[in-house]
Structures are given as C-alpha cells and as structure tokens.
A and B are shown apart, each in its own frame.
Chain A
Amino acid sequence: MTCECHSHNPDPGPVPAIEVSGLKVSFGGQPVLKGVNMKVPKGSVVALIGPNGSGKTTLLRCLLGLQEPAQGQVKIFGESNLQRVMPRIGYVPQKLALERSFILSVREFLSLRLSQSRNWFWHSRKWSDDALRSTMAEIGVEPLLDRPIAALSGGQLQRVLIAFSLLKAPDLLLLDEPTAGVDSPGEDTFYDLITKVHKHHGMTVVLVSHDLSMVYRHASWVYALNGTICCEGSPEEVMNAESLKQAYGIHVSPYQHHHHVH
C-alpha cells in the first residue's frame, strides 16, 4: 500500500526529532504496525491520521518506550535510549483512567511536573509564578486548581493534562487526541495555545486527531497511518478524497468538518 503522494519530503536536517524505521508491533499474533518508517524534522507540527484501530496510539506508545516493538528502531533526537530523552517530552494520553479515590489535587498534580527535583509536599502551596498563572488561566485550569484530579469531568481532566504536558516547555510534544471531550471554545483555545507555544519555543509537535479540519489548519505535514504509513505529505496533498480513501478504506470527504470552522 505505498502511495504516490510522498513526493517531496522536506529535508529532515542533520538530526530529525523522530526517526522510526521498520517498526513492527503485534498483539497476540495480530500485526498492528507492519513496518512503519517516518522521519519528523525538528520544529515541525505533524499530524497522524487514520481510522480507529489503525495503530496511532500504539505508534505514540512506541515513541515513548511504553510499548516494546517486535522489530524496528525508534530514535528521538538521535537517541535510541528513550529513557534518556523522556524529560524533554510532553505527552497527552488518549484517555487516562484515574483512581477515583486518589485525592491528589490539580495544583499538586501540576507541581509534580514543575518541581521534579523539589518536593511537591513542601512547594505546591507557593505558586506565585505569574507567567505560569497566565498559561493556567488560558488553558482554563485555574478555577480547577484545588479540586481533586479524580473528580474532574473528562474535558476538565483533558485540560489539566494539556497544562501538564506544556509545563516544562518540552522539545517534543506528543498529543493523542488531546481535545477529545473538550468543548469547542476550549478546542480553539488549545490549538491557538499550541500555535503560540510552537512559535515561541519551536518544539516539535505530533498530533493525533480525527478532526480533519483542525489537522488541515494547523499541521504542516500529515501522515496517514493504517498499519503502515500509507500516505504522507502536506495537508493539501494528503487531504484529498483519493489518499483519504487509501487510508480509511472508504470514501471520506476531506472537508466534511469544515462547518465547525468559524
């Protein structure tokens, strides 16, 4: 299932942010990733699209070292020992099941990320950093700070996770359907924020999303995954009926979500 549209991949530069070669993963004999190759240049915003069960989450988990590949190699910033680059990565998981009885407050949770070397037990009460407060206010977690994290609604939790992933100004941001369950003003704020932070820090962003219109507007490069990368290119190239049909197997209108845009 190779495709005609990965014509002019931009020069990845000396060390790409992500380099995946021949990645294979199977679950109980069932192959899920069947040899994925990708090279993501530093500083780009790339989107990963594909139907349910096509292995997007599995691919991100491989990038994080959470899933051992059966075959193939993953390098992040040229480093194949993934544990070593973890501190430079921010991650928003697709869904997070939290223990309901765990009483950790949002403030404490966020200070865990902030003060890895310091102890939240002594420090989470002092939160005077103004820059931080404005980010928190922007993401809309400020009113949630004193609530237990397990008592939040799905969308509120997602906002907190987004804040958590952005806190330490990561060099690589892996977002697995970050705005699933977030209301549409929240979604707009999120993408604006990512665009703003990206302009400022120039970090690399990998975004999994089913919202093709958002992908179209914000990504500079799109990978369509279905077991393998069956199609890649700029949004204009990939988001056409022909290549989407190849990824999704059925006809998908690339602009079907555009009525959300205002």
Chain B
Amino acid sequence: MFTEAFMIRAFLAALFLCPLCALLGVFVTARRMSFFSETIAHGALTGVAIGIWMGMTELTIPVIGFGLLVAMAIIWLKENTELMTDTIMALLLAGSISLGIFILSLVKGGYLGQVHSYLFGDILAVEDRDVVVSGILFAVVAVSVFMNLNVLTLISAHEDLAHVCGVNVRRVNYLFVLALTVTVAVSIQLLGIMLVTSLVVIPPAAARNVSCNLRQQIVYSLLIGVIGGLGGIALSYHFNAPCGATIAMSCISLFLLTLVIRLFTRKRNANQPLLPS
C-alpha cells in the first residue's frame, strides 16, 4: 500500500488537509458556521462545471474562485438584508447547485468521470502538485491560526468583547472566511463536494465529547482529524471505495468511540472532568 506513488501522495495530502480542516472546524462549530462550509463546498460544483465548460484542465482555480464568490455573497446578504443566516445559505446552496447542473448540461459528454471524482473524492486524482499545494496551505493557514489564536478565540466567544479588546473584528472575520474557503476548496480534491464538511465538523464534535476546555478540544480535534484521514485513505485503498466516504466513515467511528467514552465516564463520575487539564 505504501509502495505505490499515488498512495503516498494521497497519504501526504490527507496528512496536510485533514488536521487543517479539523483545526478550522473547532472555530467553525463554535461559531455555528458548519452550514457555511457546506454551502461553500456545494458552490464548488459550479466551479467544476464552469471549468469543464471552459475546457480548463486545472479545476482548482475555478473551484476556489467560485467558492470565494459564494462566501462573499453570503457575507454581503448577511450585512445588507434582514434574512436569517440559514435562509441565506439555503438560497445560495440551491442557487449554486442548480447553476452547476445547468452548465454541465450544456457540456457535451465525457465529463462524468471528472464530476464523479469531485463529488465523492478520489485518491487517484491527487497529483504531485496537489500535495505541494496542500503542504503550503497547511503551513500558511495552521501557522496563522496558531499565531492569532487569541484573536480567533475572543471573536468566537463574543464579537463585541473582541472589539473592546482591540480586535479588528471585520478584518479577522474576512480572513477566517478566506482561509476556510480555500481550505475547503482544496480539500474537495480528496474528500469530494458531498463530504468535505464532515472533516470540518466531525473531528471537533468528537473532540468536544472528551474535552473540558478549548485547548484539549483543539489537540484532540487535530489528532482525530489525522487518524480519521489516514485511516480513511487506507480503507479507501482496501475496499476500492471513494475516499470521501471512507474518511467520513472513519471520522464517524471515532466520534462514536468518544461518545461511548463520554457516556461511560460521565455515568461513573458525573462531576469530575474527564481528563486532567
């Protein structure tokens, strides 16, 4: 399994992208933005469709571009209308998927394989360049998240308090959305449009089960992201299944494990924190 070049590429890409999604996911879930990343991910379908339609060979650029467009549309609608956030998301989700399907229907045949691999994730689709892009993205985003952890945490706790502590709330929000959008768009190659959000949401949710403070949640989320990601790639190879599905399944298994740990230990000792802080 480790001798084949495509497997090494897939493992490396998972090693970079899975913990990155899991790290951002801690703040995404804390800020109720899971649906936001879902909407951006589905916007990628339109990006793929536009890329195929225009005859591009490299689809990551239109995917990131359209993802950013959707993200900006969400923020603009949120700031300029009275609509509830989930209404806006549902609107854009339907809008971008329908646009994507419509554009694909204009293209003459031969694209189905490509669309399939973007929808469900494909380890064979990971190329050398994708590994390099993931590595750079991991370095840039993870380092900036850790360097700005205070600011991100304050904003997640309360935006007004963050403002009073001297944080430029608007700028940090935009940068966070940018980081999330690019990460989701790049991860689609590996995880697929349908399931990329699972890697943003499940590791922090599983970590939440066994943590009693934010530091623990971050550490466990990263760990669960790495284990789930690498395990999912191995399963994908073994069963010859799309790796989006196998990675999501291995993350959910870890979630169930943490849930059992939580139920078991809570029953025994309801007042004690599960793990020493």
- Please report A residues at the B interface, Cβ cutoff 8 Å: 64-66, 83, 86-87, 89-91, 93, 96, 98-99, 101-105, 107-109, 112-113, 115-116, 118-121, 124-125, 146, 148-149, 164
Closest 9 CB pairs of A and B: A105-B213, A86-B166, A91-B164, A102-B30, A104-B214, A87-B166, A121-B149, A103-B217, A108-B214
> How far apart are the CA atoms of A69 and B149 in the complex, in Å?
32
Query: Which residues of the other chain, A, contact B208 by a CB distance below 8 angstroms?
Result: 101, 103
Q: Mark B214-247, 1 if CB is under 8 A from A, else 0.
A: 1101100000000000000000000000000000
Contact B165 A83 (CB under 8 A): no
Query: Which residues of the other chain, A, contact B161 by a CB distance below 8 angstroms?
Result: 91, 93, 96, 164
Contact B157 A104 (CB under 8 A): yes
> How far apart are the CA atoms of A108 and B168 in the complex, in Å?
21
List the B residue with the shortest CB-CB distance to A164: B161
> How far apart are the CA atoms of A113 and B158 in the complex, in Å?
13
Interface majority SS (helix, strand, loop, mixed), chain B? helix
- Interface membership of B85, Cβ < 8 A: no
Query: Which residues of the other chain, A, contact B154 by a CB distance below 8 angstroms?
Result: 112
Interchain nearest-CB distance for A25 vs B (Å): 16
Contact B212 A105 (CB under 8 A): yes
Contact A96 B166 (CB under 8 A): no
> How far apart are the CA atoms of A28 and B214 in the complex, in Å?
39
- Interface membership of B268, Cβ < 8 A: no
Contact B146 A121 (CB under 8 A): yes
Interface residues of B in 189-211 (CB under 8 A from A): 208, 211
Query: Which residues of the other chain, B, contact A101 by a CB distance below 8 angstroms?
Result: 29-30, 208
- Interface membership of B156, Cβ < 8 A: yes
The residue from A90, A102, A120, A148 contacting B150, defined by CB atoms under 8 A apart: A120
Contact A116 B165 (CB under 8 A): yes
The residue from B153, B164, B214 contacting A64, defined by CB atoms under 8 A apart: B164
Q: How many residues of B contact A (CB 8 A)?
A: 30
Query: Which residues of the other chain, A, contact B168 by a CB distance below 8 angstroms?
Result: 83
List the A residue with the shortest CB-CB distance to B207: A103
> How far apart are the CA atoms of A262 and B212 in the complex, in Å?
41
Contact B166 A83 (CB under 8 A): yes
Query: Which residues of the other chain, A, contact B267 by a CB distance below 8 angstroms?
Result: none
> How far apart are the CA atoms of A64 and B164 in the complex, in Å?
7
Assuming A83-B166, A116-B166, A149-B157, what are 11 further A-B pairs, CB within 8 angstroms?
A64-B163, A93-B160, A96-B161, A98-B158, A101-B29, A101-B208, A103-B211, A105-B212, A105-B214, A108-B214, A119-B150
Contact B212 A115 (CB under 8 A): no
Interface residues of B in 135-177 (CB under 8 A from A): 146-147, 149-150, 153-154, 156-158, 160-161, 163-166, 168
Interchain nearest-CB distance for A174 vs B (Å): 8
Query: Which residues of the other chain, B, contact A83 by a CB distance below 8 angstroms?
Result: 166, 168
List the A residue with the shortest CB-CB distance to B205: A101
> How far apart are the CA atoms of A99 and B26 in the complex, in Å?
13
Query: Please, could you name 11 A-B residue pairs with CB atoms under 8 Å apart, sorted by A?
Result: A65-B163, A66-B164, A86-B164, A87-B166, A91-B164, A102-B30, A113-B165, A121-B149, A121-B215, A121-B218, A148-B212
- Interface membership of B31, Cβ < 8 A: yes
Contact B156 A102 (CB under 8 A): yes
> How far apart are the CA atoms of A65 and B158 in the complex, in Å?
15
List the B residue with the shortest CB-CB distance to A123: B150
Query: Which residues of the other chain, B, contact A118 by a CB distance below 8 angstroms?
Result: 150
Contact B32 A99 (CB under 8 A): yes
Interchain nearest-CB distance for B218 vs A (Å): 7
> How far apart are the CA atoms of A155 and B215 in the complex, in Å?
25
List the B residue with the shortest CB-CB distance to A121: B149
Report if A116-B150 is in contact (Cβ < 8 Å); known contacts: A83-B168, A103-B211: yes
Q: Mark B57-90, 1 if CB is under 8 A from A, else 0.
A: 0000000000000000000000000000000000
> How far apart are the CA atoms of A64 and B158 in the complex, in Å?
15
Query: Which residues of the other chain, B, contact A104 by a CB distance below 8 angstroms?
Result: 153, 156-157, 213-214
Report if A66-B146 is in contact (Cβ < 8 Å); known contacts: A83-B168, A101-B30, A105-B213: no
List the A residue with the shortest CB-CB distance to B159: A66
- Interface membership of B3, Cβ < 8 A: no
List the A residue with the shortest CB-CB distance to B162: A112
- Interface membership of B95, Cβ < 8 A: no
